[in-house]
Amino acid sequence: MNQYRERLGQGEERVFTVEETLYQGQTAFQHVDIIRATGYGRVLFLNGERQSSEADEFIYHEMLVHPTLFRHPAPRRIFLAGGGEGAVSREILKHTSVETITQVDIDGQLIELCRQYLPAWSQGAYEDPRLHLIIGDALAHLRQTDERYDIIFLDLPEWSPDTPARELYTPEFYALVRQRLSPGGLMALQVGPVHPVHLAPFINVAQRVRAAFAHVILYPVTELRWGFGICADAPPPAGLFDAARLAAPLRYYNAQLHAELGALPTYIQQAL
Protein backbone atom coordinates (compact mmCIF):
# COMPACT_ATOMS: atom_id res chain seq x y z
CA MET A 1 0.00 0.00 0.00
CA ASN A 2 1.01 3.62 -0.46
CA GLN A 3 2.29 5.74 2.38
CA TYR A 4 1.57 9.36 3.31
CA ARG A 5 4.41 11.09 5.12
CA GLU A 6 3.64 14.06 7.36
CA ARG A 7 6.67 16.14 8.27
CA LEU A 8 6.50 17.06 11.97
CA GLY A 9 9.77 18.92 12.25
CA GLN A 10 13.39 18.73 11.30
CA GLY A 11 14.36 15.05 11.16
CA GLU A 12 10.91 13.77 12.21
CA GLU A 13 7.87 12.57 10.32
CA ARG A 14 4.72 10.50 10.82
CA VAL A 15 3.87 7.82 8.27
CA PHE A 16 0.30 6.76 7.43
CA THR A 17 -0.61 3.67 5.44
CA VAL A 18 -2.96 4.87 2.70
CA GLU A 19 -5.87 2.56 1.97
CA GLU A 20 -7.55 5.04 -0.37
CA THR A 21 -6.89 8.55 -1.66
CA LEU A 22 -10.20 10.38 -1.64
CA TYR A 23 -9.06 13.82 -2.80
CA GLN A 24 -5.90 15.71 -3.71
CA GLY A 25 -5.97 19.28 -4.93
CA GLN A 26 -5.38 22.95 -4.39
CA THR A 27 -7.92 25.52 -3.24
CA ALA A 28 -7.29 29.23 -3.59
CA PHE A 29 -5.56 29.15 -0.19
CA GLN A 30 -4.04 25.75 0.53
CA HIS A 31 -3.25 22.25 -0.66
CA VAL A 32 -5.74 19.62 0.48
CA ASP A 33 -5.26 15.87 0.86
CA ILE A 34 -8.04 13.61 2.13
CA ILE A 35 -7.13 9.94 2.55
CA ARG A 36 -8.40 6.85 4.27
CA ALA A 37 -5.58 5.55 6.47
CA THR A 38 -5.19 2.30 8.37
CA GLY A 39 -6.31 2.79 11.97
CA TYR A 40 -7.35 6.42 11.51
CA GLY A 41 -10.14 6.22 8.96
CA ARG A 42 -10.56 9.37 6.91
CA VAL A 43 -7.85 11.98 7.49
CA LEU A 44 -7.63 15.62 6.40
CA PHE A 45 -4.25 17.20 5.62
CA LEU A 46 -3.72 20.87 4.78
CA ASN A 47 -0.38 21.77 3.24
CA GLY A 48 0.91 18.39 4.33
CA GLU A 49 -0.08 18.76 7.98
CA ARG A 50 -2.71 16.55 9.59
CA GLN A 51 -5.72 18.54 10.76
CA SER A 52 -8.01 15.80 12.05
CA SER A 53 -8.86 12.15 11.58
CA GLU A 54 -12.01 10.10 11.87
CA ALA A 55 -10.66 8.09 14.80
CA ASP A 56 -9.98 10.98 17.16
CA GLU A 57 -11.35 14.30 15.83
CA PHE A 58 -13.99 14.31 18.57
CA ILE A 59 -11.29 14.79 21.22
CA TYR A 60 -9.92 17.99 19.67
CA HIS A 61 -13.29 19.49 18.90
CA GLU A 62 -14.89 18.69 22.25
CA MET A 63 -11.87 20.03 24.13
CA LEU A 64 -11.84 23.28 22.17
CA VAL A 65 -15.57 23.90 22.64
CA HIS A 66 -17.07 22.57 25.85
CA PRO A 67 -14.66 23.78 28.54
CA THR A 68 -15.53 27.34 27.50
CA LEU A 69 -19.24 26.90 26.89
CA PHE A 70 -19.75 25.37 30.33
CA ARG A 71 -17.93 28.33 31.88
CA HIS A 72 -20.47 30.76 30.48
CA PRO A 73 -23.82 30.83 32.32
CA ALA A 74 -25.95 31.24 29.18
CA PRO A 75 -24.02 31.35 25.88
CA ARG A 76 -26.35 32.52 23.12
CA ARG A 77 -24.37 34.39 20.48
CA ILE A 78 -21.22 32.70 19.20
CA PHE A 79 -18.54 33.76 16.70
CA LEU A 80 -16.24 31.22 15.09
CA ALA A 81 -13.17 32.09 13.04
CA GLY A 82 -12.18 29.14 10.86
CA GLY A 83 -13.64 25.74 11.66
CA GLY A 84 -14.12 24.74 8.03
CA GLU A 85 -14.55 21.03 8.78
CA GLY A 86 -17.81 21.86 10.55
CA ALA A 87 -17.00 19.90 13.70
CA VAL A 88 -16.53 22.96 15.95
CA SER A 89 -19.98 24.20 14.98
CA ARG A 90 -21.33 20.67 15.48
CA GLU A 91 -20.16 20.71 19.09
CA ILE A 92 -21.34 24.28 19.77
CA LEU A 93 -24.81 23.42 18.49
CA LYS A 94 -25.12 20.70 21.13
CA HIS A 95 -25.67 23.47 23.70
CA THR A 96 -29.37 24.25 23.77
CA SER A 97 -28.84 27.86 24.91
CA VAL A 98 -27.03 28.76 21.66
CA GLU A 99 -29.20 30.88 19.40
CA THR A 100 -26.76 31.89 16.65
CA ILE A 101 -23.30 31.00 15.40
CA THR A 102 -21.58 33.36 13.00
CA GLN A 103 -18.86 31.30 11.34
CA VAL A 104 -16.38 33.10 9.09
CA ASP A 105 -13.95 30.98 7.10
CA ILE A 106 -11.90 32.22 4.19
CA ASP A 107 -11.79 28.95 2.23
CA GLY A 108 -15.22 28.11 0.88
CA GLN A 109 -13.86 25.37 -1.36
CA LEU A 110 -12.38 23.56 1.65
CA ILE A 111 -15.75 23.66 3.38
CA GLU A 112 -17.42 22.05 0.38
CA LEU A 113 -14.72 19.37 0.24
CA CYS A 114 -15.25 18.60 3.91
CA ARG A 115 -19.00 18.40 3.44
CA GLN A 116 -18.50 15.99 0.55
CA TYR A 117 -15.73 13.77 1.89
CA LEU A 118 -15.96 14.24 5.68
CA PRO A 119 -19.69 14.50 6.44
CA ALA A 120 -19.26 12.85 9.85
CA TRP A 121 -17.37 15.94 10.99
CA SER A 122 -20.22 18.42 10.52
CA GLN A 123 -23.16 16.01 10.98
CA GLY A 124 -25.59 18.48 9.45
CA ALA A 125 -24.28 21.57 11.26
CA TYR A 126 -24.17 23.57 8.02
CA GLU A 127 -27.88 22.90 7.51
CA ASP A 128 -28.81 24.09 11.01
CA PRO A 129 -30.67 27.45 10.82
CA ARG A 130 -28.75 28.73 13.85
CA LEU A 131 -25.49 28.64 11.87
CA HIS A 132 -24.74 31.62 9.63
CA LEU A 133 -21.77 30.82 7.40
CA ILE A 134 -19.79 33.66 5.83
CA ILE A 135 -17.01 32.94 3.35
CA GLY A 136 -14.53 35.70 4.01
CA ASP A 137 -11.86 37.19 6.25
CA ALA A 138 -12.59 36.87 9.98
CA LEU A 139 -10.41 39.87 10.78
CA ALA A 140 -12.26 42.08 8.29
CA HIS A 141 -15.62 40.86 9.58
CA LEU A 142 -14.81 41.66 13.20
CA ARG A 143 -13.56 45.10 12.17
CA GLN A 144 -16.78 45.87 10.31
CA THR A 145 -19.43 44.41 12.61
CA ASP A 146 -20.98 46.05 15.65
CA GLU A 147 -22.19 42.73 17.01
CA ARG A 148 -21.16 41.48 20.44
CA TYR A 149 -20.65 37.80 21.15
CA ASP A 150 -20.78 35.75 24.33
CA ILE A 151 -17.95 33.51 23.12
CA ILE A 152 -15.48 33.88 20.26
CA PHE A 153 -13.78 30.67 19.09
CA LEU A 154 -10.57 30.71 17.06
CA ASP A 155 -10.00 27.45 15.18
CA LEU A 156 -7.02 28.52 13.12
CA PRO A 157 -3.96 26.89 11.56
CA GLU A 158 -1.07 26.30 13.95
CA TRP A 159 0.99 29.43 14.52
CA SER A 160 4.30 29.78 12.69
CA PRO A 161 6.21 32.87 11.54
CA ASP A 162 4.97 32.37 7.98
CA THR A 163 1.40 31.15 8.57
CA PRO A 164 -1.13 32.86 6.28
CA ALA A 165 -3.24 33.44 9.41
CA ARG A 166 -0.49 35.39 11.20
CA GLU A 167 -2.65 38.54 11.42
CA LEU A 168 -5.01 36.56 13.66
CA TYR A 169 -2.23 36.01 16.19
CA THR A 170 -1.33 39.66 16.82
CA PRO A 171 -1.97 41.90 19.85
CA GLU A 172 -4.13 44.10 17.61
CA PHE A 173 -6.35 41.17 16.70
CA TYR A 174 -6.78 40.07 20.31
CA ALA A 175 -7.67 43.64 21.26
CA LEU A 176 -10.31 43.61 18.54
CA VAL A 177 -11.71 40.32 19.86
CA ARG A 178 -12.00 41.84 23.32
CA GLN A 179 -14.01 44.72 21.87
CA ARG A 180 -16.42 42.27 20.23
CA LEU A 181 -17.11 40.28 23.40
CA SER A 182 -20.23 40.88 25.46
CA PRO A 183 -19.75 41.63 29.18
CA GLY A 184 -18.47 38.43 30.72
CA GLY A 185 -17.56 37.10 27.28
CA LEU A 186 -14.83 34.53 26.63
CA MET A 187 -12.36 33.79 23.86
CA ALA A 188 -11.31 30.19 23.24
CA LEU A 189 -8.56 28.96 20.93
CA GLN A 190 -6.20 26.16 20.10
CA VAL A 191 -2.78 27.28 21.32
CA GLY A 192 -0.45 24.69 19.82
CA PRO A 193 1.50 21.48 20.44
CA VAL A 194 2.61 20.72 24.01
CA HIS A 195 5.22 18.05 23.27
CA PRO A 196 8.63 19.18 24.63
CA VAL A 197 10.25 18.95 21.19
CA HIS A 198 7.55 21.03 19.49
CA LEU A 199 6.65 23.48 22.27
CA ALA A 200 7.70 26.78 20.66
CA PRO A 201 4.37 27.61 18.93
CA PHE A 202 2.42 26.96 22.14
CA ILE A 203 4.70 29.23 24.17
CA ASN A 204 4.55 31.96 21.53
CA VAL A 205 0.75 32.02 21.39
CA ALA A 206 0.34 31.58 25.15
CA GLN A 207 2.52 34.61 25.83
CA ARG A 208 0.56 36.69 23.32
CA VAL A 209 -2.85 35.92 24.78
CA ARG A 210 -1.54 36.42 28.31
CA ALA A 211 -0.41 39.89 27.28
CA ALA A 212 -3.84 40.65 25.80
CA PHE A 213 -6.16 39.21 28.46
CA ALA A 214 -6.03 39.56 32.23
CA HIS A 215 -7.13 35.97 32.82
CA VAL A 216 -6.03 32.98 30.74
CA ILE A 217 -6.63 29.29 31.44
CA LEU A 218 -4.26 27.04 29.51
CA TYR A 219 -4.88 23.31 29.37
CA PRO A 220 -3.16 20.41 27.58
CA VAL A 221 -4.85 17.33 26.15
CA THR A 222 -2.60 14.32 26.59
CA GLU A 223 -3.97 12.16 23.77
CA LEU A 224 -3.48 14.94 21.24
CA ARG A 225 -0.25 16.39 22.65
CA TRP A 226 -2.00 19.69 22.04
CA GLY A 227 -3.02 22.66 24.17
CA PHE A 228 -5.95 25.05 24.32
CA GLY A 229 -6.84 28.29 26.08
CA ILE A 230 -9.75 30.22 27.56
CA CYS A 231 -9.24 34.00 27.78
CA ALA A 232 -11.23 36.71 29.56
CA ASP A 233 -10.94 40.16 31.11
CA ALA A 234 -12.49 38.96 34.37
CA PRO A 235 -11.91 35.59 36.05
CA PRO A 236 -14.17 33.16 34.17
CA PRO A 237 -16.52 31.24 36.45
CA ALA A 238 -15.64 27.61 37.01
CA GLY A 239 -19.13 26.60 35.92
CA LEU A 240 -20.49 23.09 36.16
CA PHE A 241 -20.46 20.26 33.69
CA ASP A 242 -24.22 20.09 33.25
CA ALA A 243 -25.32 17.43 30.77
CA ALA A 244 -28.84 18.88 30.90
CA ARG A 245 -27.54 21.81 28.83
CA LEU A 246 -26.71 19.46 25.96
CA ALA A 247 -28.92 18.22 23.16
CA ALA A 248 -26.54 15.32 22.42
CA PRO A 249 -24.01 13.36 24.50
CA LEU A 250 -20.23 13.84 24.46
CA ARG A 251 -17.65 11.15 23.84
CA TYR A 252 -14.65 12.63 25.65
CA TYR A 253 -15.30 15.65 27.86
CA ASN A 254 -16.90 14.96 31.23
CA ALA A 255 -17.40 16.36 34.74
CA GLN A 256 -14.05 15.10 36.07
CA LEU A 257 -12.08 16.65 33.21
CA HIS A 258 -14.00 19.88 33.69
CA ALA A 259 -13.11 20.01 37.38
CA GLU A 260 -9.42 19.36 36.71
CA LEU A 261 -8.99 21.70 33.74
CA GLY A 262 -6.00 24.05 33.80
CA ALA A 263 -3.27 21.90 35.34
CA LEU A 264 -0.04 22.42 33.38
CA PRO A 265 3.02 20.15 33.53
CA THR A 266 6.08 21.66 35.18
CA TYR A 267 8.09 21.89 31.94
CA ILE A 268 5.40 24.09 30.37
CA GLN A 269 5.14 26.28 33.47
CA GLN A 270 8.91 26.77 33.38
CA ALA A 271 8.87 27.59 29.66
CA LEU A 272 6.19 30.22 30.20
Q: What are phi and psi of 209, to 5 degrees?
A: -70, -30
Nearest-10 crossing angle of helices 171-179, 200-212 = 50
Cβ–Cβ < 8 Å for 201, 160: yes
Active-site positions? 155
For residue 256, what are the CA distances in angstroms to 84, 245, 252?
Answer: 30, 17, 11
DSSP letters for the chain: -EEEEEEEETTEEEEEEEEEEEEEEE-SS-EEEEEEETTTEEEEEETTEEEEETTTHHHHHHHHHHHHHTTSSS--EEEEEE-TTSHHHHHHTTBTT--EEEEEES-HHHHHHHHHH-HHHHTTGGG-TTEEEEES-HHHHHHH----EEEEEEE-PPP-TT-TTGGGGSHHHHHHHHHTEEEEEEEEEEEEE-SGGG-HHHHHHHHHHHHH-SEEEEEEETTTTEEEEEEESSPPP-----GGGBSS--SS--HHHHHHTT---HHHHHH-
Asked whether the beta carbons of 219 and 227 are under 8 A apart, the reply is: yes
